[in-house]
Amino acid sequence: MARVVVVGAGVGGLSAAITAAQAGVETILIERNDFLSGLCVWSGHHGGGYAIEETQLMGGGSLRFHDALKKYATYWQHELSDWKEGVWEGDEAFAYDVLKSDEAAWEALSGARVKVMLRSQMVDVAMKGNRLEAVVLSNGTRVAGDAFVDATGRAGFRAWCEGWGQGCGMCILKCPIYGDCTSVSTKAGVADVRPQGGHRQAGGPRFFQATMVLQDSVAPWLLEACMEAKARYFYHVPQEFLNMDLSREWLHPDRPLPAEAGFYEGPEFLINYCPWMKVHANVPAHILRRMPGFEDAFFVTPLTGDANTVFIKRSAPTDDTLRVDGLANLFAAGERARTVSSMGTCMPLGDLAGHNAARVALGREPVALPTSTILGYFINVIRIGNPPAGGPRFTGPKGESPPVWREKGFISDDSGKDIKRIRQEVEKANLVGIYQQRLA
């Protein structure tokens, strides 16, 4: 029986593995940790805009995880007071209890015919010409396959963490214990690519301006106010903290201050992710603790309030089928496939990689999604070298759509019309149920 081996069980790898199994191939999912879902244990808010509509029509395996997570929703986007009718995140955007993401992953895999290997770190690959024959685990085990998916994410570039950060939420993936990031494609000799351009697109390290605080460690009045607000509570930052010059507070004067440091002007917000909350600020712990309500704040991110994510935007170079350049049978999923970071984008990038790995394992040609679809356009346009300014991502702040989607005609102010158009495009391209077809 043809076999697909997926390395990394974050949302990208889960989606790839389930979708490959749906095509009827034997599927093995390898994960170095003892839990599934990767960074979903930190993320907390999930929404993929109309991309979810397309995924539903195409029958992507990611839907199983999406649906399982829904059960642990702590609030829905449309319940928020500033929700606007017709916002394209639709009914499918929600925050969830992050401690349940591992459980949701197991639920998604239940009955999906995927063999899971936990505590299995891929450290090398065995190759013949431009084909991978096997991945090699740290205990020497070789796991052979006909096609492979690299879904190892991008957490754990130790040199960057040590050089720029002081630890961050991605340490949950245990990079310092298990060793530096080891991706399948770089082991197979294909160098990563980094986008060029402005700060957010550039290949340097990026700091995410939020941190995680244990919900029960903030003052009762603040917790109560957050609960009452349901999800997004606008905290009024006392005047003396606004626009602080943090350069004196920055602990490492030899390193540049990240551009996102400090509070923005105006109110900040907290989000209830149960059992912790995201504090959208990027300030040292002792400053946050001087602010009303945060006096006893307990940081869930390893060290301080500086940043909850330190990462470099980089990914494997692939074509639009997500096949890694120069390799016959390796595909990239999730953050390894494109320089994106969100669950809603990693899901479809997993579906396509898993489906195409199954196709190649069965001796078929991989497919690309046409650019008349949102997913096809996204995959094509965000390829390194031609990302349009500011995006595209599937959603902007507060669920707004980035302008590029409007310009392309994918969305308007009439969500009913948009969804009809999505259906028409998917039908026209013969993609309805494509990921559900058994190919073996």
Ligand X SMILES: Cc1cc2nc3c(=O)[nH]c(=O)nc-3n(C[C@H](O)[C@H](O)[C@H](O)COP(=O)(O)OP(=O)(O)OC[C@H]3O[C@@H](n4cnc5c(N)ncnc54)[C@H](O)[C@@H]3O)c2cc1C
Contact 207, 258 (CB under 8 A): yes
Q: Does 166 bind ligand X (CB under 6 A)?
A: no
Nearer to ligand X, 332 or 425 (CB): 332
Query: Counting contacts by CB under 6 A, is residue 46 touching ligand X?
Result: yes
The whole-angstrom separation of Cα 422 and Cα 374 is 8
Helices 62-70, 101-109: axis angle to 10 degrees equals 130
Q: Minimal CA–CA distance to 209: which of 277, 95, 313, 308?
A: 308
Does position 77 bind ligand X by CB under 6 A? no
Pair of tokens at residue 66: 């999406």
Residue count at the site for ligand X (CB under 6 A)? Answer: 38
Residue 10, interface with ligand X (CB under 6 A)? yes
**Assigned token pair, 122:** 């891929």
**Sheet order of strands, 122-128 included:** 122-128, 131-137, 142-144
Query: Could you tell me the smallest distance in angstroms from the CB atom of residue 101 to ligand X?
Result: 9
CB of 279 vs ligand X, minimal distance in Å? 12
Site string for ligand X, 180-209 (x = CB under 6 A): --x---------------------------
Return the number of other C-beta atoms located less than 10 Å from residue 362's C-beta: 17
Q: Which stretch binds ligand X (CB under 6 A): 323-331, 339-347, 372-380, 408-416?
A: 339-347
How far is residue 3's CA from residue 163's CA, in Å, rounded to a whole number?
40
Q: How far is CA 174 from the centre of its chain?
A: 17
* Angstrom distance (rounded) from CA 361 to CA 259: 45
309 sits near ligand X (criterion: CB under 6 A):
yes
Rounded Cα distance, 147 and 322, in Å: 13
The one among 61, 145, 165, 169 contacting ligand X by CB under 6 A: 169
Torsion on CA atoms 182, 184, 189, 192, rounded to nearest 10: -70
CA distance 148 to 252: 42
Least CB distance to ligand X at residue 156 (A) = 7
Where does this chain touch ligand X (CB under 6 A) — which range of 10-18, 20-28, 142-150, 409-417?
10-18
Contact 351, 19 (CB under 8 A): yes
Nearer to ligand X, 15 or 373 (CB): 15
Site for ligand X contains 366 (CB under 6 A)? no
Please state the closest distance from residue 283 (CB atom) to ligand X, in A.
16
* Minimum separation from the CB atom of position 273 to ligand X (A): 8
Q: How far is the CB of 304 from ligand X (least distance, A)?
A: 14
The nearer residue to ligand X, 201 or 412, going by C-beta atoms, is 201
Residue 66 interacting with ligand X (CB under 6 A): no
**Per-residue contact flags (x/-) with ligand X for residues 24 to 43, judged by CB under 6 A:** ------xxxx----xxx-xx
Give the residue, chosen from 109, 343, 361, 384, that forms a contact with ligand X under the rule CB under 6 A: 343
Contact between 170 and ligand X by CB under 6 A: the answer reads yes
- What minimum distance in Å lies between the beta carbon of 341 and ligand X? 4
Contact 153, 334 (CB under 8 A): yes
Q: How many residues does the chain have?
A: 440
Binding mask 121-160 for ligand X (x = CB under 6 A): xx----------------------------xxx-x-----
153: left (phi over 0), alpha (psi -120 to 50) or beta: left
What is the distance between the alpha carbons of residues 368 and 347, in angstroms, rounded to a whole number? 16
Residues making contact with ligand X (CB under 6 A) = 7-13, 30-33, 38-40, 42-46, 121-122, 151-153, 155, 169-170, 173, 182, 308-309, 334-335, 341-344, 346
